[in-house]
Amino acid sequence: MKLKIFLSLLFLSLTVVVNAQTYYISKTVNIFGDTIITYKDQSGREIKSVKKSKDIFGNETTSITGANGQEIKSVKKSKDIFGNEAVSIYDGQGQTTATIKTSTDIFGNETKRITDANGQEIRSIKRSTDIFGNKIITIYDAKGQTDAAIKTSTDILGDEIKSITDQNGQEVLSIKKSKDVFGNSVHSVKSDKNAESISVFMKLLRKIGCE
């Protein structure tokens, strides 16, 4: 019992200054092992709190509550009996706004399927490896048609090349990562598209974590 009381009182306080405004962050752990992070402004008024908990099945839930005590959003991470992972995002009323399900087939290919509030698939992303060892990321639209594909390969000199193709299989951007004689990293970009198109695809690379 003493241990539970101790956990409920355990906290970590931090002071953060952003844009000349001072914010206070406190971290507590309650008797159930839930972690609660509270954000307060300079006057001590609570701005929001983030609660992270885990149920008996190992599912993790993160809930965000606003200054008025009303839940704004929550995210639940779970895993089914086949080992497939799911991340479900809920609004303040507990209604699902989006779900991301991740599964892996017998060949080790990983697929993330994104569904909307109605359970309709709006996009999917598949990560695979071809027979030559090249890493391929294929992005599909709601109808299962290819939107774009990104292939990462290595040439005989050990330089990494990312080749991006559009829905028609035409290359729109190629990025070569190499090193000069001094060991500095050099990125060479080749494209027939305009600067705006290149910017769009660079943002795409950042979103899926493969830049």
Q: What is the pLDDT of residue 111?
A: 95
Q: What is the pLDDT of residue 148?
A: 87
The structure's pTM equals 0.71
What is the Cα–Cα distance from 146 to 6, expressed in whole angstroms?
Answer: 54
Q: Where does the chain show beta strands of DSSP type E?
A: 11-18, 21-29, 35-40, 46-54, 60-65, 71-79, 85-90, 96-104, 110-115, 121-129, 135-140, 146-154, 160-165, 171-179, 185-190
What confidence category does residue 5 fall into, taking pLDDT thresholds of 50, 70 and 90? very low
Q: What is the pLDDT of residue 186?
A: 81
DSSP H helical ranges for 119-194: none
DSSP 176-204: EEEE-TTS-EEEEEE-SS-HHHHHHHHHH
What is the Cα–Cα distance from 128 to 123, expressed in whole angstroms?
Answer: 17
Average pLDDT in the 132-141 region? 92
The domain spans of the chain are 118-211
For 143-162, how does the pLDDT look when each residue is reduced to its tens digit (9 = 90+)?
999 988 999 999 988 899 98
pLDDT of residue 9 exceeding 70, the answer is no
**DSSP-assigned beta bridge partners for residue 13:** 26
